[in-house]
Chains A and B, each alone.
Chain A
Amino acid sequence: DTGVSQDPRHKITKRGQNVTFRCDPISEHNRLYWYRQTLGQGPEFLTYFQNEAQLEKSRLLSDRFSAERPKGSFSTLEIQRTEQGDSAMYLCASSRKGGGETQYFGPGTRLLVL
């Protein structure tokens, strides 16, 4: 069990640029989640996958955000035309099917949009 990994750990970009983050879940977990966390707040749910199927996407999520999990293993989160308000920690988590209450989080990708 190597844990959830995320890459990159830090990303600085200019407003208007596109960014992509990667998450590798725990290998035997078929559920994968993306959250966003800003300072002093709890993680905010963005979307989640069961295997390669995206089962739910937050209604608060802008169309500039898209996530994929093409082979049911790793996932990518892309933000197009970044805005300063996108600056946050982006967390990935994974769990077994039916184990949504027990999620294992990666170290996160900290995004700063200038």
Chain B
Amino acid sequence: GQSLEQPSEVTAVEGAIVQINCTYQTSGFYGLSWYQQHDGGAPTFLSYNGLDGLEETGRFSSFLSRSDSYGYLLLQELQMKDSASYFCAVCNTDKLIFGTGTRLQVFP
């Protein structure tokens, strides 16, 4: 079977740093992607880790440890517009297997 676990909800204040963890168990694994989805919107790609280590894209960074079946998304200098759901997704051959998502609420 395949499963991904993320915290259901995280809250933080503007300007803070937040880390969203993801652990996975899958039968096939090519890498870990992260997507953002605002209420009523479509998922949008944020970051991908195909290899162990840290990937940095502006205020967002993502980390992967294959040996621990673990990854995280780090959001820095939080802004109100970052309030959204964040999904980790295992890239399995060419399809994505999504977690249940973490709802991030940013407060002023």
Task: List residues of chain A with CB under 8 Å of any chain B CB.
Answer: 31, 33, 35, 40-45, 48, 50, 55-56, 91, 93, 95, 98, 100-108
| Closest-CB distance, B94 to chain A (whole angstroms) | 4
Task: List residues of chain B with CB under 8 Å of any chain A CB.
Answer: 4, 30-31, 33, 41-45, 48, 50, 87, 89, 91, 93-101
Tally of contacts, chain A with chain B, CB under 8 A: 62
Question: Would A107 and B42 count as touching, CB distance under 8 A?
Answer: yes
Question: Would A105 and B94 count as touching, CB distance under 8 A?
Answer: no
| Closest-CB distance, A103 to chain B (whole angstroms) | 6
Q: Quick one: closest B residue to A41, CB to CB? A: B100
Contacting residues, chain B, for A91 (C-beta < 8 A): 42-43
Contacting residues, chain B, for A55 (C-beta < 8 A): 94
| Closest-CB distance, B36 to chain A (whole angstroms) | 11
The answer to whether residues A48 and B94 also contact, given A91-B42, A108-B42 and a CB cut-off of 8 A, is yes
Question: Would B48 and A102 count as touching, CB distance under 8 A?
Answer: yes
Q: Quick one: closest A residue to B103, CB to CB? A: A40
